[in-house]
Chain A
Amino acid sequence: MRGLQLPLSQTQRIRLQRAFEKLQSLSSKVNSDASVTVADTIPVNYEDAFLKGHGTTDLNGELVATVCGVVERINKLVYVRGLRARYKPEVGDIIVGRVVEVAQKRWRLEINFTQDAILMLSSMNMPDGIQRRRTALDELNMRGIFEENDVVCAEVRNFQHDGSLQLQARSQKYGKLEKGQLLRIDPYLVKKSKLHFHHLEQFGIDLILGRNGFIWVGEHVETRDSMVVDQANSSQQSMVLEEKDQTHIPLEMRQNICRIANAVRVLSTLGFSIDADLIMETVELSSSLKIDIHDMLGSEFHVLVAEREAERRSLMGKRRR
């Protein structure tokens, strides 16, 4: 069992262990998910053709792990995923990053990768929405768009020849993120899915699941259509924004943001893959049991979530059969 940093009582420990055993028995890859340390042999059927992936090496005819982690198998590829691995980007991934440096015609973002990602000024929409060539004045006004330490949502565009990453933020749904909190979890918990931007209508909250493990939970921001430029409205909107800066987020929305953030924290501590449905279920579980927002981080709620997940997966398994 994973070493959870939680003060568990004896009964809670037993319940949690039972829930994890149930989940393991339900998992389809029951024998293949072995945790290995360096120089452990990986259990593989040597007669099948298989590809040796990252974290493995051939030693005396046996497949041996070179990192501590979990064995993953995808089709014929066998590799070892390290426990504290950094994010492995793919083209088209949606990520959330933090601006580290404002350089010439580009911003450098930290995204939990081995190198900082680059967001070119030309890959970014201009505030007025017009498509035009970037002038020297635009370059001087870069800080007006993104400053250091700003949280930005973008998409992976391609890899440079030196291995670094290039991002783009062309659509209106990308851009600076304010009025919320950023959570950092392990990147392998966020699987690729159709939708990474979730607008939770009943709370009025934006939830962005960055594939690099950065999760943004914040107040919903209306994405304006850049083609419709209404002069009168835009000046009114800028005034309203300034006033909003002075006031704080209403208490109820803040409670929802905190509840969702805590749900993400609980799920990442337990090691479950994060997706919006699971987060919503966890939030509903906590509000139906009238658990205080802060108590969601206590050991009792962790055990409840684990048990609930084990039940849900066993039901899903039964339905399939």
Chain B
Amino acid sequence: MFQLSMPFNFPKPFPFSCFSLRKKSVNPFPLNTCSGFCCTPKEMVGLSAGEKHFIQGGIAQDLRLDGRKRLTYRPIYVETGIIPQAHGSARVRLGATDVIASVKAELGKPSALQPDKGKIAIYVDCSPTAAPMFEGRGGEELSTELSVALERCLLGGKSGAGAGIDPTSLVVVEGKVCWDLYIDGLVISSDGNLLDALAAAIKAALSNTGIPKVDVAAEATGDEQPEVNISDEEFLQFDTTGIPVIVTLTKVGKHYIVDATSEEESQMSSAVSISVNRKGHVCGLTKRGGAGLDPSIILDMISVAKHVSEQLINKLDSEIAAAEASEE
């Protein structure tokens, strides 16, 4: 189900296309606006003109379809430790959006350019159960977009600077042995705002991760690989307070909303996903959608995202703590 062995040097950046390449045979229902992600609402259901008007009016009047304000998230439900074979896993439900993240660690050799850093790879898969258009290769474009956006937001630059997860904590023997982290995400059900849900799931999965303690058995000289003993008993936990969350702001008309459902996403003109950490620093930025944005709007969106992220980080941390407590 999860693709575990991914080469770290994933080709990036992925060229963002604002017009989606929808296969006509798969999607018989015409959609009037293009959503930034090439894949569309969960049941490919179109909306009538009256319903669209209702949604846009609601957003303009600060009262969305389910009574939320523009900057309110849906209730987040976190479960951790759901995949016992993985080193860490979590499932996050955001309304009808349901995603699972798992973390697997394997011993590997660090790259020659960065001998003191471990390697992390993020890969997202859209399950065909989420929507009929994900069947076969339909979900591939969306999967790659999500994977790249998450890597950009969580892993920082090419040199590893500014990463949410510190890769230097993954090294065992400098230059010889390091941990390779493979983070896999699976979208089970899609009702909008996949990026936020995946980032929350990854954060929860990393909180749940226990990397086995490694004892270096023998000192090795030159190019020899040292022998290592992987302990079954002791585990090291990650410090996940530094991991950023992603806040996606969807612009509909003149206003932005947070945590859009798939119906609201079908009405958007553009969306900006901003990854913010606990200190309020911006760790990554992704813009989707065909409409152009004035730079002042982007700056405004960043400040709104900072404001929203404070509550979101606190809420997420408390939910993760509750999930870990109930798991025990």
Contact = CB atoms under 8 A, between A and B. Distances in A.
Contacts of B68: 294
A185 B119 CA distance: 46
Residue of B30, B45, B64, B66 with most chain A CB atoms under a 10 A cut-off: B66
Contacts of A226: none
A254 B65 CA distance: 9
A6 interface: yes
B63 to A, nearest CB: 5
A248 B60 contact: yes
Given A7-B77, A148-B46, A248-B60, A258 B51 contact: no
Interface string A245-259: 100110100110011
A179 B49 CA distance: 9
Contacts of B60: 248
A178 B47 CA distance: 11
A98 B66 contact: no
Contact of B48 (A151, A261, A262, A292): A151
Interface residues of B, number: 29
A251 B63 contact: yes
A293 interface: yes
Interface string B34-54: 000000000001111111011
A261 B66 contact: yes
Contacts, number: 91
Interface string B61-94: 1011111110010111100000000000000010
Contacts of A259: 67
A129 interface: no
A262 B66 contact: yes
Contact of A297 (B49, B53, B63, B75): B75
Contacts of A147: 48-49
B5 to A, nearest CB: 33
For the residues of A in contact with B, the DSSP-based class is mixed
Size bracket, chain A contacts: 35 or more
A182 interface: yes
Contact of B72 (A7, A177, A179, A294): A294
Interface in B1-52: 29-30, 45-51
A178 B49 CA distance: 8
A180 interface: yes
Given A148-B30, A149-B46, A245-B53, A254 B58 contact: yes
B223 to A, nearest CB: 53
Contact of B57 (A254, A293, A298): A254
A296 B49 contact: no
For the residues of B in contact with A, the DSSP-based class is loop
Contacts of B69: 294
A248 B56 CA distance: 9
Contact of B61 (A148, A149, A179, A248): A248
Contacts of A176: 48, 50
B77 A5 contact: yes
Nearest to B55: A181
A185 B252 CA distance: 27
Interface string A216-256: 00100000000000000000000000000100110100110
B57 A249 contact: yes
Nearest to B73: A294
A293 B53 CA distance: 21
Given A5-B93, A248-B60, A258 B67 contact: yes
Given A5-B77, A5-B93, A149-B29, A258 B63 contact: yes
Interface string B250-270: 000000000000000000000
A9 to B, nearest CB: 9
B47 to A, nearest CB: 6
Contacts of A5: 77, 93
A159 B75 CA distance: 43
A132 B194 CA distance: 52
A98 B45 contact: yes
B234 to A, nearest CB: 31
A72 interface: no
A270 interface: no
Contacts of A178: 48-51, 53
Contact of A265 (B66, B75, B93): B66
A234 B317 CA distance: 59
Nearest to A299: B75
A150 interface: yes
Given A251-B63, A255-B63, A258-B65, A98 B54 contact: no
Q: Which 5 interchain pairs have the tightest Cβ spacing?
A: A178-B50, A293-B67, A149-B46, A248-B57, A294-B67
5 contacts: A147-B48, A149-B29, A149-B46, A180-B54, A254-B57
Given A151-B51, A255-B67, 5 more contacts: A7-B76, A150-B50, A177-B50, A181-B54, A258-B66
